[in-house]
Structure 1
Amino acid sequence: MQISVQMYSVREALAADFQGTVARLVELGLTHAEPYHLVEFRDELVQSRTQHAIDFPSAHQSFLGEVDFAEVLEAAQAVGVKYLVDPHWNPEDWTDAGKVRALAATLNQRAAAAADAEIRVGYHNHHFELVSQLEGRSALELFASELDPQVILEIDTYWAAVGGADIPTLLGTLGERVQLVHLKDGDLSTDPAAQLPLGEGKMPLAQTLEASAHVAYGVIEFDAYAGDMFEGIATSVAYLNSHAS
C-alpha cells in the first residue's frame, strides 16, 4: 500500500497558495495526493505535476448526478488520474434498497463510459451508508453487490467505524473491490473536529492496516483538525512509515 493524502485536508492552504501547498506536501515526503473538485482544479493540478515530484493517482469529483461526464473524464486524463471517485451521495437515498440499486446502476454506466480512458470509477463512503441496514446487511454492502467488477470502492475506514462497521470484517467482505482506503483517527464521534493524527485516537489502526494490505493507496485525511494541519499530516505519515509491512 502506497501512501497518499487527500488534498481537502489542506483546502485553506490551497486557497491561499496552491503550488506552495503542494510543495509543502512533497516536503513531508509525499509523492502521491488525492485532489478534490478535480474539474475545478484541473489546470493547477496539471501544473503541479510538472513543477513538483508528485502525482494524482486518485481524485474526488461528483459525477453520479447530472454532470458533463466527458468533461470530468478529460480532466481526469489530463491530471493522470486512474481512480475517479464520487465522494458523497444523498444520505436519505441510502435508506431505500431500490434507490441504492439505482445508484449502483448509474455507477456501472459511468464505469463503462470511463473504460476507454483506462479510468476506474468508484464511490467513497461516510457513516450513513453503514448505519443503514437493508436486507440483512449494510446499505454499502448491498450497493457493492450490485456493482460491475471494474468498479472500485474507496473505504473511509474512520467513517465506516463511526457507522458501526467492524473494519477488518468489512474490508474482508468487500475484498479486491477496495483499491483505496481513507486513513484517519479520532474519538469515533460524528464530530469532524475531533479527528486526530494516526495513532492518537481510538481507531483500530493495526487491524485496519493489516486488512488493507491489498489496497493500492492508503490516503491520509482530516476533515478537520484542531492543531496545525501540516504537522498532523506529518505525524500520520510517520505513523504509516513506522508500521509499514
Structure 2
Amino acid sequence: MGEKNSAAKYVLITISIVFVGVMLVLPLIAIIVNSLQRGWEFYIKSLTSRYVLSALKVTAVATISALIINTFFGVTAAWLLTKFSFRGKHILATLIDIPFSISPVIAGLAFIMTFGRMGWAAPYITALNKFFVLDIKIVFAIPGVILATVFVTFPFISREIVPILNAQGKDEEEAAALMGADGFTIFRKITLPHIKWGLLYGIILCTARALGEFGAVNALSKARGGTFTLPLEIDALYLSGSSESITAAFAVSSLLVMISIFILIIKNIVEHKSIKKGI
C-alpha cells in the first residue's frame, strides 16, 4: 500500500511539473528570449518608444486609480456586509461578484451604451460640459479606461476582507463601542489590525488584474499613444506584422512579465506573513 501511494505521489508530481513547465515556464522563457533576439539596444529602444511610454503612463494611472477606488469600496463593502444586518444584504454580496461572471468585453460595451454618444448618460454629460464650460469625455478617453479597470477589479479587495471579518466576529467592536469609542477609532484600533494582511493581499491581486486587463479596456480605448494601456500596445505592435514590431511586442511583454514576477514575490511574502500571524 505504501509503495502504491509513493508511486502515485511521484506520478502526480511529474504530471504537475510537466504541465506547469509546458503551460507557464516555457512560454515565459520564450517571451524573454524573443524580446532579446535583436540585442539590448533594440530592447531598450522598444521600451522607451513614445507609444510604450504613453501606454505605461495610462496603465499606471488606471491601476493606481482602481486601487484607490477599490480599496475604499472594498473595505466599506466588507465592513457593511459583516458588521451590519439590513434588507438586501445578500443581493449586494451577489452584485459585488458580477465582474467574476461577466466577460470584460461585455462590461466595456455596457459602458459605451451608458456613456457613449447614444447612451442614456450622454445628454447629462453634454449639459454638464456646456454649463461649466468643460470637455468631459468618458468613452474613448482616460476616464473610460479607469472605469473599465475599476469594474473588472473591484471584487478582489472586498472578497479578501469579508472572510477575515466574519471570522473575527463583532465582540471586540461592540465592547469598544460600549466603552465610548467612536466608529473611526474602532476601525483604526481594532478592525484594521485584523484585516491588514487580507487588505494587502487583495491590493496585490487587484494590481495584478488591473495591469493585465485587455477586453474591457480595449472596448473603451481607441487612441494609440493616448488611451492605450500596455496590453493594448503589445497587441498593436504584434498585429503590425513586421519582424521589428513583433520583437518590440515581446520586449514590452517581458516588461509585464517582470512586473508580474515582482508582484508574485510580494504576494508570497504577504501569504507567508499572514500564515505566520495566524490569519
Give the TM-score, by structure 2 length.
0.20
Bigger share in strand: 1
Larger Rg: 2
If each structure's helix is expressed as a fraction of its own residues, which one has the higher value? 2
